[in-house]
Amino acid sequence: MDHRLFYVIGDFVANLVLGVIVGLISWAIVGPGWNMIVAMFVMMAVGMLAGLIGFFPAAIKLGAMEAMVPLMFTGMLSGMVVGMMAAMMPLPLANAVVLGAASGFVGIGFIWIANSMLRGVTREAEES
């Protein structure tokens, strides 16, 4: 993942927007009559599909691998969280948007932390 400011802001905005979109989709589909486990699995698949679709416009500016992994993860996470919340009780639209945005924030944060930990110390970092 690139550490230039354009890519950092682009990743952050793309994941927030996708989290909100998947939250709205999940809110529109799932109701309190759904089983929570079924809602989680169905909305996880819907979120991953939305992440795949959202990947194409983001990849034009951010690059293929820099956008695909975080967006797919954010879509999956947002779909699961909002889908399960909507299955538990009637969920207001504003709460679905906030949960989707929070899932996007958590998703990109997790991906960035995991990437930094897996990358380790590089030769470039040792030289400077």
The range of the structural domain enclosing residue 59 comes to: 5-110
Residue 30 in domain: yes
Going by pLDDT thresholds of 50, 70 and 90, the confidence category of residue 62 is: confident
Average pLDDT score, the chain: 90
Instruction: Locate all alpha helices (DSSP H) within the chain, ordered by sequence.
Output: 5-29, 36-62, 64-88, 93-119, 123-127
Inform me whether the pLDDT recorded for 46 exceeds 90. yes
Count of structural domains, the chain: 1
Residue 100 in domain: yes
Residue 115 in domain: no
The pLDDT, as a whole number, for residue 64 is 82
Residue 128 in domain: no
User: pLDDT > 90: what percent of the chain?
Assistant: 68
Average pLDDT of span 83-109: 95
